[in-house]
Amino acid sequence: DSSSGAAKTEAEEGGKSTDDDDKEDKAAQSLLNKLIRNNLVNTTNQVEVLQKDPNSPLYSVKSFEELRLKPQLLQGVYGLGFNRPSKIQETALPMMLAEPPQNLIAQSQSGTGKTAAFVLAMLSHVDPNNKYPQCLCVSPTYELALQTGKVIEQMGKHYPEVQLVYAIRGNKLQRGMKLQEQIVIGTPGTMLDWCGKFKFIDPKKVKVFVLDEADVMIATQGHQDQSIRIQRMLPKNCQMLLFSATFEESVWNFAQRIVPDPNIIKLKREEETLDTIKQYYVLCNCKEEKFQALCNIYGAITIAQAMIFCHTRKTAGWLAGELSREGHQVALLSGEMQVEQRAAVIERFRGGKEKVLVTTNVCARGIDVEQVSVVINFDLPVDKDGNPDNETYLHRIGRTGRFGKRGLAINMVDSKMSMNILNRIQEHFNKKIEKLDTDDLDEIE
């Protein structure tokens, strides 16, 4: 009975196709990130800027005052607890607020301040005296649109003349009506209908068009096309802004169709490294032995907080149960949980309410819990073809340079196949993974 041997993904377990799961997963992951994020991601990397007109001077700001924002908005910014612009905001904000307005394509990982930046730009550009939509913002899902809406409400708290409406399925308006709200945020399909079919919005009066989470957007059938059709209804001088966390070729192609003559800002993600991590593996024969090894490890060393990764929901559920029976306070993240529930579990774990977090990979992608000092791969990360998933391995246990606290990673190996995967991971990173004898644990810690 070897659970890591079976290269069965969560998606297959649930009876869904992996592709569909992947799409859903992208939007869900992004939402999860938003729900659990309460501050900026730190980065030491510099932004890369490619200006439409390379001869024009490049402004960047170190304070919000320099931007000459409306006082109500500056109050909103400070009300949110922002002291100074984030790395990407330093250059993106002056570009977005320039006269005449400039188009922008910006890419940086989640949590670097993109949403706050374009929300500030939208709020700055609207004229509250004009009672019609002036800014349109499209998001991949209803839930993501609501999250952005919240930021607009918070930042615009002292600017109540500016109103917001959600163009989302289920928000049914009377035929023939004209929207009075200055900002419309929604999903591409409904936004397109509201501009075209129903004419609730006069697209010719729109001054700012924002397309958020372009990489998530293009994963959904039809969104790309709908967004382009909205864009085509807008006036030539409408400011176009596009944001994405990642930038594959497909995102780039899409971005260029949405944003003519763009300025481009990119912020590299902080590199993760295994340099400050001690890596071990433990040889077992079955999942029960793996569990026993885990108990031995817990008996031998003090573990403040640990994350344990399993390949399937079933294993994760089983392991969480066994650990609870041993008296551990265990948190479980599992695929069938709603994103909000997952966020709550992660928050509790971060707050130290539980000491062990058992999770499947799908759930935990992209989560960083900085205080975790021990990561256990109860199953090694493999892709859907059963090959080692090096990227996930690095992301699970790696640390970014600046916060490089020392860490401990323990890999459970229970078959020839998983030994082979471990060897390939070891070769890939060219970093030794040492064998650990769990009956004699003096060597670690």
Question: Which residues sit at the interface with ligand ADP, rule CB under 6 A?
Answer: 37-40, 80, 82, 85-86, 89, 110-116
Cβ closer to ligand ADP: 116 or 145? 116
Reduce the secondary structure of the chain to three states and give it as a string: CCCCCCCCCHHHHCCCCHHHHHHHHHHHHHHHHHHHCCCCCCCCCCEEEECCCCCCCCCCCCCCHHHCCCHHHHHHHHHCCCCCCCHHHHHHHHHHHCCCCCCEEEECCCCCCHHHHHHHHHHHHCCCCCCCCCEEEECCCHHHHHHHHHHHHHHCCCCCCCCEEEECCCCCCCCCCCCCCCEEEECHHHHHHHHCCCCCCCHHHCCEEEECCHHHHCCCCCHHHHHHHHHHHCCCCCEEEEEECCCCHHHHHHHHHHCCCCEEEEECCCCEECCCEEEEEEECCCHHHHHHHHHHHHHHCCCCCEEEEECCHHHHHHHHHHHHHCCCCEEEECCCCCHHHHHHHHHHHHCCCCCEEEEEHHHHCCCCCCCCCEEEECCCCECCCCCECHHHHHHHHCEEHHHCCCEEEEEEECCHHHHHHHHHHHHHHCCCCEECCCCCCCCCC
Cβ closer to ligand ADP: 31 or 425? 31
The nearest distance, CB 213 to ligand ADP, in angstroms, is 9
Cβ closer to ligand ADP: 147 or 411? 147
Cβ closer to ligand ADP: 83 or 237? 83
The nearest distance, CB 432 to ligand ADP, in angstroms, is 36
The nearest distance, CB 37 to ligand ADP, in angstroms, is 5
Cβ closer to ligand ADP: 91 or 411? 91
Cβ closer to ligand ADP: 102 or 110? 110
The nearest distance, CB 39 to ligand ADP, in angstroms, is 5
Neighbouring residues of 279: CB distance < 8 A, sequence distance ≥ 6:
397, 409, 410, 411, 431, 432, 433, 434
Q: How far apart are CA 92 and CA 245, in angstroms?
A: 15
Token readout for 296 is 């031995």
The nearest distance, CB 363 to ligand ADP, in angstroms, is 19
Cβ closer to ligand ADP: 85 or 149? 85
The nearest distance, CB 307 to ligand ADP, in angstroms, is 22
Spacing of C-alpha 138 from chain mean position: 17
The nearest distance, CB 194 to ligand ADP, in angstroms, is 24
Cβ closer to ligand ADP: 124 or 360? 124
The nearest distance, CB 252 to ligand ADP, in angstroms, is 18
17-20: long-range contacts (C-beta < 8 A, 24 or more apart)? 18/384
The nearest distance, CB 151 to ligand ADP, in angstroms, is 7
The nearest distance, CB 14 to ligand ADP, in angstroms, is 28
Cβ closer to ligand ADP: 105 or 308? 105
Cβ closer to ligand ADP: 116 or 294? 116
Number of CB atoms found within 10 A of residue 81's CB:
8
